[in-house]
A and B are shown apart, each in its own frame.
Chain A
């Protein structure tokens, strides 16, 4: 066989079958590999794309990376609806099934501990954006200023308005984060996102992840929804439910360098 084994996640055995039309990376259907009372969700990937050299080059290709990341997330997403998966980092690849089995044996205690802790919980992402300042004709306005003093005053006012919005956004984000933390079991603050990749408008001032019990999720979502019209010029965005990606850091062996991202 020329294929390699790509592992998406480790979970406890689950009864619900994976959807027949579910596809993973490269369109291959994911399969379940059961071992020592745990299951690894795997699919076959071509060696031409996933050998070390090939992979290093592919990771530089934004189209390939985007497609692969979406496919990986698609499988994790499907698993999240039927069980509590421990999502593995993108591109965890073994030569064959026996490699996957050895990995499960080597880490089974860690997997069980993490599964116990995350069982029945999902991750919600909450981002706060400051909307861009209202489009002002940057070049035209100063030119029309009647005097230098007038020009400086206008500039000061515009800067002042923006400062005020920022301050308000910061206060809002902090109070929202406190409220949501109260409804979550754990939380993580991620670095703000760059608009180039997210294609979102405005500037990202809060990028947080919350670990919430499934049973408490409805209430959590409602809490977020209620804040949406609270503050003009400030936008709240909710994503999820995600598998508990942001809460696997304490997993043994993840300690080095896997802290707070960028």
Chain B
């Protein structure tokens, strides 16, 4: 919507140029301010944004449109063990497989050693 050139420039100021804003502004930076900060005034249209905290919104948005989210590269909830029981399971499964493999190798080594040590 906004373009960096679309803002009025402060006239002849020593005021630093904007950093990290404009059309490329990080969506999280903007959302955390316009949704979570700013003055709360009950308008005629009552919508309680206080109930919808940022994370909830993200999760609900993502759940509502998983394909869209994936398209945008948003899939962290799948791999974040804190949010996804599947990710937690996967993590344990991976760790287990790794340990089993190590154990098998160790047993193999031990197995190869035993006959030599026992005359």
Residues in B3-57 with C-beta less than 8 Å from chain A: 6-10, 14-16, 18-21, 23, 25-41, 43-47, 49-50, 52-55, 57
B44 touches A93 (CB 8 A): yes
Query: Digit string of A73-98 for contact with B (CB within 8 Å is 1, else 0)?
Result: 11011100110001111111111000
Contact A239 B29, CB 8 Å, known A4-B45, A81-B9, A151-B102: yes
Interface size class of B (residues with CB under 8 A): 35 or more
A residues within 8 A CB of B55? 194, 262
Q: CB distance B44 to A94 under 8 Å?
A: yes
Which residues of chain A are near B53, meaning CB under 8 Å?
A: 261-262
CB-based contact A62/B61 at 8 Å = yes
By a CB distance below 8 angstroms, the chain B residues around A61 are 61, 64-65
Instruction: Determine whether A52 belongs to the interface, using a CB cutoff of 8 Å to chain B.
Output: yes
**Interface pair B44/A99, CB less than 8 Å apart:** yes
**B43, A93: Cβ atoms closer than 8 Å:** yes
B90 within 8 Å of A (CB atoms): no
> Among the listed stretches A15-23, A30-38, A163-171, which one makes contact with chain B, having 4 or more residues with CB under 8 Å of it?
A15-23
Determine the chain B residues whose CB is within 8 A of the CB of A50 once the complex forms.
45
Given contacts A91-B43, A198-B28, 20 further A-B contacts (CB under 8 A): A59-B52, A63-B68, A65-B31, A65-B57, A69-B31, A71-B1, A73-B34, A81-B10, A89-B35, A142-B98, A147-B106, A194-B76, A196-B73, A196-B76, A200-B26, A237-B20, A241-B18, A245-B33, A245-B37, A262-B55
* 6 interchain residue pairs of minimum CB distance: A74-B2, A198-B28, A239-B20, A197-B28, A245-B37, A93-B45
B interface list, Cβ under 8 A from A: 1-2, 6-10, 14-16, 18-21, 23, 25-41, 43-47, 49-50, 52-55, 57-58, 60-62, 64-65, 68-69, 72-77, 98, 101-102, 105-106, 109
